[in-house]
Amino acid sequence: MQQTNTPSYQIAVLKYKGGGDWYANPTALPNLVAFCNQKIKTNISTTIETVEVGSSDLFNYPFVHMTGHGNVLFTNDDVENLRNYLIGGGFLHIDDNYGMDKFIRVELKKVFPNNELVVLPNNHPIFNQTYKFPNGLPKIHEHDDKPSQAFGIVYEGRLVCLYTFETDLGDGWEDQEVHNDSPIKRKEALEMGANIIEYVFSGGR
């Protein structure tokens, strides 16, 4: 009898309030998962779930991805749930799709009022997994012609939240015809995404 290869993990897109398009980049995570399963031998389900910030289902996913262009609003219940998820071992990757920066910084401050977003240096392990990025976060889209930056929230020595800004990794993960990114840019985006997944699933090493 042929054995089925049951996925070991499932990841999700974070649905939030405020009117921002949390559903942006629908092909991004499926493409990233397929890349990771092929290139770094993860065993992640190719079915991407949607989970609300305040839902108890959040705890079913070791990795959740958040993106969008606009407003973000966390209620008090959202804040408590997300904080408990993150300090309990979960991981949140936020990728600014252009326009959410001024909103997400305010909301993250509600979640971790005593923990600042810090710039991750270019020698951080997240840039030195299977794929090497000696210059730090790659630049996929230009936006405001600012340098790409990776910010993190560290709680008790563990990176619990990664915020990628002025790069738009998610656009680079999407199907090529969506944004017409060059093969080089898409490769950089997918490899950096694989590094994030590898870093998280290896326990932040």
What spatial distance separates the first Cα and last Cα of the chain, rounded to whole Å? 38
Average confidence score pLDDT of the chain: 92
Examine the pLDDT at 55 and tell me if it is beyond 80: yes
State the pLDDT at residue 140. Answer: 87
User: Does position 48 have pLDDT exceeding 50, yes or no?
Assistant: yes
Using one digit for the tens of pLDDT, what is the confidence trace for 81-95?
Answer: 999 999 999 999 999
pLDDT at residue 7, rounded to an integer: 83
For the stretch 93-148, pLDDT in tens is: 999 987 899 999 999 999 999 999 999 999 999 999 999 999 999 988 766 678 89
Residue 67 pLDDT exceeds 50: yes
- Please say whether the beta carbons of 44 and 36 come within 8 A: yes
What per-residue confidence (pLDDT) applies to 179? 58
Q: How confident is the model at residue 181 (pLDDT cuts 50, 70, 90)?
A: confident
Q: What percentage of the chain exceeds 70 in pLDDT? A: 93
**Which range among 12-21, 60-69, 86-95, 143-152 shows the weakest confidence by mean pLDDT?**
143-152
Q: What is the pLDDT of residue 98?
A: 76
Instruction: Look up the pTM and report it.
Output: 0.93
In the predicted structure, residue 50 carries a pLDDT above the cut 80: yes
Every domain of the chain and the residues it spans: 12-201
What number is the average pLDDT over the span 15-35? 93
Length of the chain: 205
**CATH fold of 12-201, please?**
Rossmann fold (3.40.50)
User: Percent helix, strand, coil in the chain (nearest 5)?
Assistant: 35, 20, 45
In whole angstroms, what is the distance from residue 69 CA to residue 25 CA?
11
Residue 2 has pLDDT above 50, yes or no: no
114 Cβ contact partners less than 8 Å away, ≥ 6 residues apart: none
162 vs 8: which has the higher pLDDT: 162
What pLDDT, on a 0 to 100 scale, did the predictor assign at position 19? Answer: 87
pLDDT digits (tens, 9 = 90+) for 32-41: 999 999 999 9
Nearest to 199, CA basis, from 127, 139, 119: 127
